[in-house]
Amino acid sequence: MSEVDKSIFKAYDIRGVYPESINEDLAYKIAQGYVEIIKPEGKVAVGYDVRNSSPALHAEVVRGLTDAGVDVVDIGLISTEMLYFAVGQYGYAGGITVTASHNPKEYGGMKMVKEKAMPITGETGIMEISDFCVEGRSIEADKKGSVEKKDIMTDFANFTVKFVDTSKIKPTKLTINPNFGFEGVVLKAVIKAGNLPIEVVGINDTPDGNFPKGRPDPFLPENRPEFIETVKSSGSDLGVAWDADADRVFFCTSSGKFVEPYYTNAALIAYMLKKDPGATIIYDPRYTWALIDSAEQNGGKAEICRVGHSFIKLAMRKSNAFFSGESSGHTYFRDFWFADSGILPLLEILEMLGATGKTLDEILAPYYAKYFISGEYNNKVADSQAVVNKIEEKYSDSEISKLDGLSIEYPDWRANIRSSNTEPLLRLNVEAKSEKLMEEKRDELLAMIIH
């Protein structure tokens, strides 16, 4: 590769079309750049997702690291949460997993961490790694690193089932939709490790890097109907869906209601604070009221943070916060090295259902009755800052925050307008004390953004 496409180096990870923007040659260079910039002092774990391009890219990551003198632990085919587990649990100096998350099948990419599963982002190494690759630098160590293969599935499964009180989990029929990623395999190992009384109804649960039903993102509206219908037609007690690398998780109630993560996060906060009284949660400006209320009404504390996993993980470490959940489906736990997981939220919800004797519909009903949200609207605009300035001027009598984009807040409604960190879009989220008011303000703001 003679020219490096710098646009594939994102705020939180690396993603590009294979083999045009990312290929084996660049994978090797990225691994070498990782060594040069991060300077890991010890072994580095390397894994990969189900994409067809991932094994070849993974092989070159391993070669790039070992040529630079780094010892590699090859953990093979994994979900992204398993990388965080490996680095944190075994005390490795860092980790790389070859994944393009929920992007379409033609994409390849990487997510990278330092020791203790601390994220590497655009501000903490990714852009420097990009420069290393652009400049065509390389490292040839006097002594090559070694490679050992390690199957971490059993250890990961055993860890997760100890995270909750499995004795509270009642017999459950569970519809799962891993979107052709690896999490269905992971869940079955977890069920076996905990001897959990779960009957699985699987759709799209055989790993397939071709992603035959399109983009492997369960949050897309077009990917929900099959999932919802299977939950209802199978008589399942609960449905769970993950994106392809399983660091985002979504739920469906037995009545067929696809749940915005805002609501499940509020319920989890209320339930988990009973096990960790007085603890702190981190939330971001997109939706806030239910999370703040859920924390404060159950004896906890709530602290705000910018959107994005790197900011959230840093804020959690600073406050030793026990939990954070994003409306995008990322869910973070202090006792999981402040990292996000797709399995742990499911286990917590299964425990909560068993402990309360309620369905998820019943648990969420009070939140739906009090907090009304728009869902996220994304629009391409020619001049996003001009639009934001116009909105700020119109609502200048509101309580205004510029922590992340523009947040405007009144006693009965609020909104957050921010530019995407990963795409050329302006994102809008609105919440209100009534559905009518939410819809009115949503439409009012959208008219200002679009025109």
Any domain includes 115: yes
CA distance 85 to 82: 5
Query: Confidence class of residue 422 from pLDDT cuts 50, 70 and 90?
Result: low
Q: For residue 91, count CB atoms less than 10 angstroms from its CB and return exposed for 0-12, middle for 13-18, buried for 19 or more.
A: exposed
pLDDT in tens, 228-268: 999 999 999 999 999 999 999 999 999 999 999 999 999 99
CA distance 127 to 218: 30
Same domain, 126 and 264: no
The amino acid sitting at 232 is K
Question: Residue 365 maps to which CATH number?
Answer: 3.40.120.10
Which residue is associated with the tokens 């603890």? 279
The answer to whether 344 and 160 are in contact (CB under 8 A) is yes
Rounded to the nearest 5°, which phi and psi values hold at 206? -100, 120
Q: Is the pLDDT of residue 55 over 90?
A: yes
Any domain includes 420: yes
Query: Confidence class of residue 451 from pLDDT cuts 50, 70 and 90?
Result: confident
Rounded to the nearest 5°, which phi and psi values hold at 21? -100, -30
Question: Residue 402 maps to which CATH number?
Answer: 3.30.310.50
Structure-block tokens of residue 426? 């302006």
Same domain, 142 and 242: no
CA distance 126 to 16: 14
Q: Is 234 an annotated catalytic residue?
A: no
Same domain, 140 and 210: no
Determine which one of 21, 101, 130, 384 is catalytic. 101
pLDDT in tens, 108-136: 999 999 999 999 999 999 999 999 999 99
Other Cβ atoms closer than 10 A to 382? 6
Which of 151, 185, 218 is the last residue in one of the domains? 151
Same domain, 412 and 355: no
Q: Is the pLDDT of residue 412 over 50?
A: yes
Structure-block tokens of residue 411? 């006693």
The amino acid sitting at 285 is P
Rg, Å, the chain Cα set? 22
Same domain, 346 and 432: no
Same domain, 188 and 310: yes
Same domain, 146 and 167: no
pLDDT in tens, 338-393: 999 999 999 999 999 999 999 999 999 999 999 999 999 999 998 899 999 999 99
Which of 335, 370, 405 is the last residue in one of the domains? 370
Residue in 265, 342, 341 with CA at minimum distance from that of residue 302: 265
Query: Confidence class of residue 1 from pLDDT cuts 50, 70 and 90?
Result: very low
Q: Is the pLDDT of residue 18 over 80?
A: yes
Give the count of domains, the chain.
3
Strand partners, 108: 16
Residue in 105, 55, 60 with CA at minimum distance from that of residue 76: 55
Same domain, 350 and 214: yes
Any domain includes 269: yes
Same domain, 72 and 174: no
Which of 107, 134, 151 is the last residue in one of the domains? 151
Q: For residue 8, count CB atoms less than 10 angstroms from its CB and return exposed for 0-12, middle for 13-18, buried for 19 or more.
A: buried
pLDDT in tens, 288-317: 999 999 999 999 999 999 998 889 999 999
Any domain includes 349: yes
Any domain includes 266: yes
Residues 6 or more apart whose CB falls under 8 angstroms from that of 251 comprise: 238, 239, 240, 241, 258, 259, 264, 349, 360
Same domain, 208 and 132: no
Same domain, 174 and 319: yes
Angle between helices 153-162 and 183-194 (to 10 degrees): 60
The answer to whether 261 and 331 are in contact (CB under 8 A) is yes
Domain with 309 in it:
155-370
CA distance 121 to 123: 5
Other Cβ atoms closer than 10 A to 222? 10
Any domain includes 1: no
Any domain includes 295: yes
Any domain includes 214: yes
Same domain, 351 and 379: no
